[in-house]
Structure 1
Amino acid sequence: MAKVKKEKNYFDTVHIWGRIWTVGALIVLFSLPVAISVYYNAWPEANLVFTALLKLVPLYWVTSIIEVITFTPMLGAGGAYLSFVTGNITNLKLPCALNAMEQAKVKANSEEGEIISTIAVASSAITTTLIIAVGVILFSPVLDDLRNSEALKPAFSYVSAALFGALGASYLKKHWKLSVFPVFVGIVVLLIAPTFGVSTLLFVTIVAAVAGALVLSKLKVVK
């Protein structure tokens, strides 16, 4: 009983602070464009805003819902709140959390996994902020040269693929039955729509991996 109460108190606290910071982040995000519009007395035309939103919102609503359903079980409550507030989940937060749990030999849905994932995501966010700050200061004089370099341009397109490739290789080796379906889906999507970006393809394969794992678990092919 004491353990259940303690666990409930922990998750209650996580959800309370998670909601507070999520709402706070939304207020800050909306406050900046509003403040700029008020200061310069320059407001966008409503019809142009709604026209643009009609094209973008349906896509982002679907993507957002799928991301929450897909990523939250892997990140845990604390890790999910931190990730969705700080962003860069697919490229950084999720790989860090999964790698940390693998190194600690804990499962994503366990109490230990919840703590490890939250610490990993928080450490990732702090480290990223510090590195970006230092990088901006040090590389600002040569940033344009690096960004416009013909030799380096191809590398920037494969950052996400390299991160998930390195992380996924160990999982593919250990759980090859779970890897067949997402790899197959990724290849099919790439053949049908070769213009899809790396981030989109990664997202599709992650969803396919989760769906395939659930189906195989139901069929008792894997435990």
Structure 2
Amino acid sequence: MAAEQINEQKYHEVWTTPVIRLGISTMLLACVLSFIPLIYLYMVHGILPPFSAALTAWGLVASVFGAFYIVEPISYYPILGLAGTYISFLSGNISNLRLPCSAMAQEVVGVEEGTKQAEIIGTMGIIGSVVVNLAGVTLAAFVGAWIIGLFPAFVADAFRKFTAPAIFGAVFGQFAMRQPKLAPFALAIPLTLLHFKAPIWLVILASVFGTIAISRIFYKAKLIH
């Protein structure tokens, strides 16, 4: 057996298989635990919403966020990797925290995107972000509101309104620097659709898969690598 085949088998045994097993277990556990408040209301207070109301509520949520069910796992996976995908979807804050941390870790170490080394390094970056984020959120829960209250009203208002756009802009800039030829298309697609008042779910799908399609065309034409 060639050395590459041995390494591939070892990687599958040591990394891929345990990650899938642990990832599926933790995700299923999180799904079960999500029903604890509902179980508590039923067991203690005898309150149980009718199935039709629950289905309607899910439909309202799916109509707004349904596109993300498809877009996020596909578009994030190349950067997050297998383990990073499980961790990120369990901990949340993917686009504004987990994804940038994974990408930055890979860039700092200098590994090639999409490789096994990149997946392991990216996962380490995501784990670090979870630990730091947990400490930061805990601290913010106690002193965050108090600190914001010390700022002038216009500064506090700016924090609330522009923090998320600033993060998303920084993430876009980070990836645009890697493939500057694709950046104009990544911006033009959503801006064009928004100009014509297309539904948000269509904007999201078209932006992600449209950019992927253009990337594929450029790659075949050897305009990017």
Question: For residue 163 of structure 2, what is the aligned residue in structure 1?
Answer: 159
C-alpha separation in 2, matches of 1:82 and 1:126: 12
Secondary structure, in 3 states, of the residue corresponding to 2:195? helix
- From 63, 68, 82, the equivalent of 1:63 is 68
C-alpha separation in 2, matches of 1:33 and 1:214: 46
Structure 1 residues 214, 36: closer, same or farther in 2, change over 3 A? farther
Question: For residue 114 of structure 2, what is the aligned residue in structure 1?
Answer: 109
**Residue 201 (structure 1) shift:** 7.4
Question: For residue 11 of structure 1, what is the aligned residue in structure 2?
Answer: 16
Q: Point out the more displaced range, 19-28 or 101-110.
A: 101-110
Structure 1 residues 65, 167: closer, same or farther in 2, change over 3 A? closer
- From 45, 49, 53, the equivalent of 2:50 is 45
| TM-score normalized with structure 2 length | 0.83
- Does residue 1:128 correspond to 2:133, yes or no? yes
- Does residue 1:186 correspond to 2:190, yes or no? yes
- Does residue 1:220 correspond to 2:217, yes or no? no
Q: Give the percent of matched residue pairs that are identical in Structure 1 and Structure 2.
A: 21
Question: For residue 181 of structure 2, what is the aligned residue in structure 1?
Answer: 177
User: What runs of 5+ residues in structure 2 fail to find an aligned partner?
Assistant: none
Do the aligned partners of 1:101 and 1:116 also contact (CA within 8 Å) in 2? yes
Give the AA of the match of 1:25. A
Structure 1 residues 46, 171: closer, same or farther in 2, change over 3 A? closer
**Residue 153 (structure 1) shift:** 2.4
Give the AA of the match of 1:83. S
Residues matched between the structures, number: 219
Question: For residue 86 of structure 1, what is the aligned residue in structure 2?
Answer: 91
Do the aligned partners of 1:76 and 1:108 also contact (CA within 8 Å) in 2? no
- From 25, 29, 38, the equivalent of 1:24 is 29
Do the aligned partners of 2:79 and 2:114 also contact (CA within 8 Å) in 1? yes
- From 162, 167, 172, the equivalent of 1:168 is 172
**Residue 101 (structure 1) shift:** 1.1
Structure 1 residues 170, 136: closer, same or farther in 2, change over 3 A? closer
C-alpha separation in 2, matches of 1:168 and 1:160: 12
Structure 1 residues 146, 90: closer, same or farther in 2, change over 3 A? farther
C-alpha separation in 2, matches of 1:162 and 1:38: 44
User: What runs of 5+ residues in structure 1 fail to find an aligned partner?
Assistant: none
Give the AA of the match of 1:191. H
Deviations 1:65-120 (A, max 9, x none): 22111111221001111001111111111111112111222223111111111111
| TM-score normalized with structure 1 length | 0.83
Structure 1 residues 61, 191: closer, same or farther in 2, change over 3 A? closer
Do the aligned partners of 1:95 and 1:163 also contact (CA within 8 Å) in 2? no
Structure 1 residues 203, 79: closer, same or farther in 2, change over 3 A? farther
C-alpha separation in 1, matches of 2:62 and 2:186: 27
Secondary structure, in 3 states, of the residue corresponding to 1:158? helix
Do the aligned partners of 1:76 and 1:117 also contact (CA within 8 Å) in 2? yes
Do the aligned partners of 2:96 and 2:167 also contact (CA within 8 Å) in 1? yes
